[in-house]
Amino acid sequence: MSPASPYPHVFQPLSMGTTTFRHRIMVTGHTQLYGENGTLSERHIDYYRERARGGAALLVLEQQAAHPAGRNYHAGCGAWDSAVIPWYRRLGEAVHEHDCQMFAQLFCAGAQGSGTQYFDDWRPLWAASRIPSAVTEEMPVAMDQRDIDELVEYFARCAENIQQAGLDGIEVHAAHSQLIGEFLSPAFNKREDQYGGSIENRCRIVLEIGTAIRAAVGNDIALGLRLSFDEYLGPIGITPEQSEQQIEIFSASGLFDFFDISGGGYHNLHVAVAPMGTVPEGFLIDSARRAKQIAGDRAKIFIVGRFLDLAKAEEVLVAGDADMVAMTRAHMADPFIISKSADGREDEVVRCVGANLCVARLISNREVTCVQNPAMGREKRWGVGTLDILPSSQQRDISVVGGGPAGLRFAATAASRGHRVAVFEARAEPGGRMHELACLPTREGWWSAIDNLVRPLNKLGIEPNYNTRIEADAIDGDIIVCATGSLWDCSGYSPYRPDRLEIPGADLPFVIGMGEAIERAVKDQKALGQRILIVDETGEYHPLGLAELLSANGIEVELITPRPFIGAETQRTLDLPHIMPRLKAAGVTITAQHFIERIEERSAFVYDVWGGEPYLINDIDMVVLAMTRSPNDALYDQLVANGRTVLKIGDVVAPRPLEAVIYEAEKFARSV
């Protein structure tokens, strides 16, 4: 790193016991669900190798169950069996090759797991007390002394496997309402024995685990704790004041080299892994500062909390509030964020926008990836250096029609391979569906996502042609790529009503689609009238964001859906717990499990999907339909009729989630 670096504290080495990190940026333990047969896979090794190549100083392996009772994902991994050692060894070697340290995180799910997750190993969940999870609602058993002794022994066994494999450290997960965190929390620990009651008693199991690990592996390997400094449950949960006492107890024990400071738990994951527009960057800095004041020189402090660039990390390190700064989702979006920043290429960094597809897929128990980085989890095929650069004889003139996410991604990848690419967009700006979202309250992060797609084109000397509507008989190119997206359907067709193709009255002039509604409302918040009915079948953010935009300007809004509740998709991205209180406070009426029977002039007949007669809503100025989308495929059909060679990608094939169309664009751009 040059002495003139704007981030001298970031790139200062850090010594911790027998371990030295080459700088101060790390990636915390985060779940990928790439496991096979209960242990790591090649996909894991490719994933971590890529981030080590990209410059990270420390990587923490996704949570490894310390006991069979502690698993909570179908593709999760366990650390107690010696079969994991070869995999850990290969992982360590892959990471060490790039001067990066590799820790493993040990955890047990506690009440947050599922006792029937593994078909041939159904068992009751272990927990500190007989308190079910607020998420899974499965009743656990309160661990007895024999269970606790067995768990402690298993942690030590796992630590031996990690040390034998040559990894550099162990992090015990004692945060986020999981098993060890349950013992620390008065919200979950109602025990009346030596493990409950006082803070000292609640810390006892952590000290026993730490003592057993040290007895098994000695002091030549780093050992630390991940902690929720504040559970955000008020006095019924772990408060910052309690955490200060816990950290004093743990520091005084001499067992731990570091504390990895996080926050929240299963009651409020929307804070721990906050989506875009909800928390400030570095929102846990105060927690780290307080932890650092307690730990002093006895242990290092690692800090998480929505860090997006090195500038913010530098501030924290200059102030001495932490010793290491985690940029986890930032590394998911761009594994090379460190090396690019160090080389003065920050303009090339793909910025995390907090879309939380990673979290949504995790909640759905599916392999985790990033909406902006389709190479995440596919590093072997699509990682840096895998593009096939074409000789001039194979380069083609490609015209891409559509400047949405699919068209922009295709264009950049195809141009990077050597093709001569031109992009045409009918609108005045790029982004397609992302642009709609970016116009809504708290969704400004989508502008960064659009910028992430446009910048690579600009760097390649390609300036998209905006305000350019292409006719089928006036387009050049060896290959034409049709990425014209989709349009909101205004018919009111619903799979919930297979008996009809439209809502009667949907053709009335005061009924419009979501796209048009957003466009009008952004230009003039009063343009839709004073009383608006939004019909949502998407479960996505669009209708919620439009309702917030309108209600903030004193407009009366009602949201209805035939689904069990509004915003189902936003529950998985953790947006729902943020926006629903805002909508309620703004007076938005939310009506689930209801649908429209028919629309008449300035009125709608609404019915309960479970039965009963429709009732009338009068004096409606506008009905907004957020329902299905239809492919915008008229140009494609004309091109095919003209005998042109056309490739169709994105929503024009079938309207799908953003991650699906970006994946498809990358896939086809690598094959043309």
DSSP calls for 256-288: -SEEEEE---TT-HHHHT--TTSS-TTTTHHHH
Same domain, 225 and 178: yes
Same domain, 412 and 377: no
Distance CA 549, CA 557 (A): 10
Q: Which residues contact 3 (CB under 8 A, 6 or more apart)?
A: none
Residue where a domain terminates, one of 382, 403, 431: 382
Provide the 3-class DSSP secondary structure of residue 455.
helix
pLDDT > 90 in the chain, percent? 96
CATH number at residue 457: 3.40.50.720
Q: Decide: 590 and 556 in contact? Cβ < 8 Å.
A: no
Which residue is associated with the tokens 């098993």? 179
Q: Which residues contact 217 (CB under 8 A, 6 or more apart)?
A: 159, 160, 162, 163, 170, 223
Checking if the pLDDT of 655 tops 60, the result is yes
Q: Looking at residue 82, what DSSP letter applies?
A: T
Checking if the pLDDT of 3 tops 70, the result is no
Per-residue tokens: 524? 């003039």
Listing DSSP states for 315-327 in one string gives: HHHHHTS-SEEE-
Residue where a domain terminates, one of 333, 348, 382: 382
Interval 79-96 mean pLDDT = 98
Among 54-58, 116-120, 297-301, 459-463, name the one with the lowest average pLDDT.
Answer: 116-120
Distance CA 398, CA 396 (A): 6
pLDDT digits 0-9 by tens, 333-356: 999 999 999 999 999 999 999 999
Alpha-carbon distance values, 46 to 50, 332, 382, 671 (Å): 6, 13, 11, 22
Q: Is the model's pTM score more than 0.85?
A: yes
Q: Residue 272: pLDDT band by 50, 70, 90 thresholds?
A: confident
Checking if the pLDDT of 2 tops 60, the result is no
Same domain, 262 and 120: yes
CATH number at residue 552: 3.50.50.60
Interval 304-320 mean pLDDT = 96
Let me know if residue 8 belongs to a domain: no
Interval 93-114 mean pLDDT = 96
Checking if the pLDDT of 476 tops 60, the result is yes
Same domain, 157 and 71: yes
Q: What is the pLDDT of residue 391?
A: 95
Taking alpha carbons only, the member of 328, 337, 338, 326 closest to residue 362 is 328
pLDDT digits 0-9 by tens, 518-574: 999 999 999 999 999 999 999 999 999 999 999 999 999 999 999 999 999 999 999
Q: Looking at residue 501, what DSSP letter applies?
A: S
Q: What is the pLDDT of residue 5?
A: 79
Checking if the pLDDT of 120 tops 70, the result is yes
Q: Looking at residue 513, what DSSP letter applies?
A: E
Interval 274-293 mean pLDDT = 96
Provide the H-helix boundaries in 116-239. 145-164, 179-184, 199-202, 204-217
How many independent structural domains does the chain possess? 3
Q: Decide: 92 and 102 in contact? Cβ < 8 Å.
A: yes
Checking if the pLDDT of 244 tops 90, the result is yes
Per-residue tokens: 62? 């996704």
Torsion angle of the four alpha carbons 658, 661, 664, 666, in this order, in degrees rounded to the nearest 10? -70
Q: What is the pLDDT of residue 615?
A: 96
- Main-chain phi, psi angles of 138, to 5 degrees: -85, 130
Let me know if residue 252 belongs to a domain: yes
Interval 644-663 mean pLDDT = 97
Let me know if residue 374 belongs to a domain: yes
Count Cβ atoms within 10 A of the Cβ of residue 584 and give its class: 0-12 exposed, 13-18 middle, 19 or more buried: exposed
Same domain, 565 and 661: no
Interval 185-206 mean pLDDT = 98
Q: Which residues contact 9 (CB under 8 A, 6 or more apart)?
A: 24, 314, 317, 318
Q: Count the Cβ atoms, other than its own, within 10 Å of residue 244.
A: 17
Q: What is the pLDDT of residue 534?
A: 98
Same domain, 396 and 369: no
Interval 121-126 mean pLDDT = 94
Distance CA 449, CA 281 (A): 17
Let me know if residue 582 belongs to a domain: yes
Q: Decide: 174 and 181 in contact? Cβ < 8 Å.
A: yes
Q: What is the pLDDT of residue 1?
A: 47
Distance CA 283, CA 294 (A): 19
Let me know if residue 496 belongs to a domain: no
Let me know if residue 48 belongs to a domain: yes
Q: What value, to the nearest 5°, has the Cα angle with vertex 457 and ends 455 and 461?
A: 115
Count Cβ atoms within 10 A of the Cβ of residue 124 and give its class: 0-12 exposed, 13-18 middle, 19 or more buried: exposed
Let me know if residue 6 belongs to a domain: no
CATH number at residue 286: 3.20.20.70
Q: Decide: 210 and 253 in contact? Cβ < 8 Å.
A: yes
Q: Residue 235: pLDDT band by 50, 70, 90 thresholds?
A: very high
Q: Which residues contact 475 (CB under 8 A, 6 or more apart)?
A: 399, 401, 424, 639, 644
- Computed over every residue of the chain, the mean pLDDT equals 96
Q: Looking at residue 304, what DSSP letter applies?
A: -
Residue where a domain terminates, one of 382, 406, 436: 382
- Chain mean position to CA 525: 31
Q: Which residues contact 532 (CB under 8 A, 6 or more apart)?
A: 550, 555, 556, 557, 558, 620, 621, 622, 623, 624
Same domain, 189 and 258: yes
Q: What is the pLDDT of residue 74?
A: 86
Integer-rounded Cα Rg, in Å, for the chain is 27
Let me know if residue 65 belongs to a domain: yes
Same domain, 32 and 161: yes
Same domain, 468 and 419: yes
Range of the domain at 436: 392-487+631-669
Q: What is the pLDDT of residue 4?
A: 57
Q: What is the pLDDT of residue 562?
A: 96
Provide the H-helix boundaries in 386-474. 405-416, 433-438, 445-459
Q: What is the pLDDT of residue 39?
A: 95
Distance CA 538, CA 495 (A): 12
pLDDT digits 0-9 by tens, 358-402: 999 999 999 999 999 999 999 999 999 999 999 999 999 999 999
Provide the 3-class DSSP secondary structure of residue 118.
coil
Same domain, 593 and 462: no
Same domain, 192 and 298: yes
Distance CA 243, CA 287 (A): 9
Interval 510-514 mean pLDDT = 97
Same domain, 658 and 578: no
